[in-house]
Amino acid sequence: MNDSRISRRGFFGSALGVAAVATAGLAACSANNSSSATQATANTPKPVILVTSFGTSYGSSRHITIGAIESDIREAFSKYDVRRAFTSQTIIDHIQKDTGRHIDNFEEAMDKIVAEGVKEVVVQPTHLTDGYEYNDIASALEKYRSNFSKCGIGAPLLKTKDDQKAIAEAIKNATKSLEDEHTCVCLMGHGTEAEANGIYTEFQKTLNELGYKNYFVATVEASPSFDDAAAAAKQAGYTRAILRPLMVVAGDHAHNDMADTGNDQSFASVLHDSGFEVTSILEGLGQLEAVDELYVQHAQEAINHL
C-alpha cells in the first residue's frame, strides 16, 4: 500500500455549480468585464485542508500511513488544496537533518495559508483522541480564525461510539487470519494524562461488545498498562499474542515500546515474561483503508459545519 493507491469512493462536491455560474456570468457581461471576472476567479486561492499530524521519523511508515490519509483526503476533496503539517518540532528537525526536506509545523503552515489570502481552511488532525495535543491544535487555530471567512477543525479518529466500532472492525479484519483459539490480539495505544485517556477503556468495552473478546488494549504512558493487558489475556487462557500498534504510524513507540524484545519493559517483553509466544505486527492504523476513510468522513463533517 502506498500514497498512490486509488480509493473507490466518489468525490465530494462538484464543479457543476461553479460552471453554471461562470456560464451565466459570461452571458451577462461585456468582453472586458468577462475578462476581469475570469482573472479574479483565477487569482482566488483554493480553500485548504491542512492535515496535521504529530509526525514520525520513520520514513517508510510515514509514507504509507500519514501519506495514505492525506492521499485519500486529497482524492475525496478535489476542490481543496490538501497540505501537511507536523506538530513535533523534534521530528521536523530530524527529517530536515536526515533528508534535507522541510515539513512545516502548524504555525508555519497556517502563516503561509494566511499570507496567500486563503479564505476557507479546515484543519484535520490525525490524532486518535482529543487529548492535549489535539486541543493544542484547536487552541492555536483560534488565533488564526479572524483571517478566514470559513474555518473549522475535524474530529479525532476515536471521537464517537460509531468511530470506535468502525476502527474495531477494521482491526479485526486485518488480524482475523492470524487468530485461533489460543491466540489473542494486543493493541498498544499511546495513552495520555488528559481526560481523553478514558477512550482506551471505552474502546476495550466496544471490542467486547462486538464479541472481540480476544482483543486487549494497553497504553505506553497511561492505563490500561502492559501488565493489565497481559494479566487479562492470561486469565482468559490465551498462550499466544499478536501485537499491533493502536496508533496511526508504526514509529518509535511501535518499534521500541511495543516490539523490542531487547527492552525488558516493552509490551512484547511483558507478554513474553507472562508466558506468551509473541508476534509483533509493525503496521500503523493509517495503513488500513477503513481508517483513512474515517478521516475523510471527519473532514467532510467539519466542512458541513463551516
Q: Which three cell numbers stand for residue 270?
A: 511483558
Residue 25 lies in a domain: no
Give the pLDDT score at 41: 53
Is the same domain home to 134 and 276? no
DSSP 120: E
Q: What is the predicted pLDDT for the residue at 42?
A: 60
Low-confidence ranges of the chain (pLDDT < 50): 1-40
Please report whether residue 3 resides in a domain: no
135 and 51, same domain (yes or no):
yes
By residue count, the chain amounts to 306
pLDDT score for 60: 87
Per the domain annotation, does 149 fall within a domain?
A: yes
Residue 29 lies in a domain: no
Predicted confidence at residue 19, as pLDDT, reads: 36
Q: Are residues 263 and 279 in the same domain?
A: yes
Which pairs count as long-range contacts for 100-104, CB under 8 Å and 24+ apart, including other chains? 103/55
Determine the pLDDT at residue 140. 98
Question: Do 68 and 153 fall into the same domain?
Answer: yes
Here the cell at position 170 is 477494521
Question: Are 174 and 260 found together in one domain?
Answer: yes
Q: DSSP for 209-236, please give it.
A: HTT-TTEEEEESSSSS-HHHHHHHHHHT
In a domain, 26, yes or no: no
Same domain for 138 and 168: no
Q: Are residues 90 and 171 in the same domain?
A: no
Quick one: pLDDT at residue 29? 34
Angle at 251 between CA 246 and CA 254, to 5 degrees: 50
Q: Which of 37, 49, 43, 38 is nearest to 12 (CA)?
A: 49
| 182 and 233 co-located in one domain | yes
Residue 16 included in any domain: no
User: Is the same domain home to 276 and 168?
Assistant: yes
Q: Name the nearest CA neighbour of 301 among 110, 152, 137, 121.
A: 152
Q: Which of 209, 197, 296, 178 has its CA nearest to residue 246?
A: 197
The cell for 281 is: 505486527
pLDDT confidence of residue 179: 87
Overall number of domains in the chain: 2
Q: What is the pLDDT of residue 187?
A: 98
What cell was used for 249? 504510524
Say how far apart CA 92 and CA 69 lie, in whole Å: 19
Q: How far apart are CA 235 and CA 230, in angstroms?
A: 9
Pair (126, 226) in one structural domain:
no
Residue 47 in contact with residue 81, Cβ under 8 Å? Answer: yes
User: Does residue 21 fall inside a structural domain?
Assistant: no
Residue 94 lies in a domain: yes
| Global pTM value | 0.85
Residue type at 237 in one-letter notation: G
- Judge if 102 and 189 occupy the same domain: no
Q: Tell me the CATH number at 207.
A: 3.40.50.1400
Range of the domain at 125: 45-158+288-304
Inter-axis angle of helices 132-142 and 106-115, nearest 10:
20
For residues 135 and 228, state if they share a domain: no
8 Å CB contact between 48 and 118 = yes
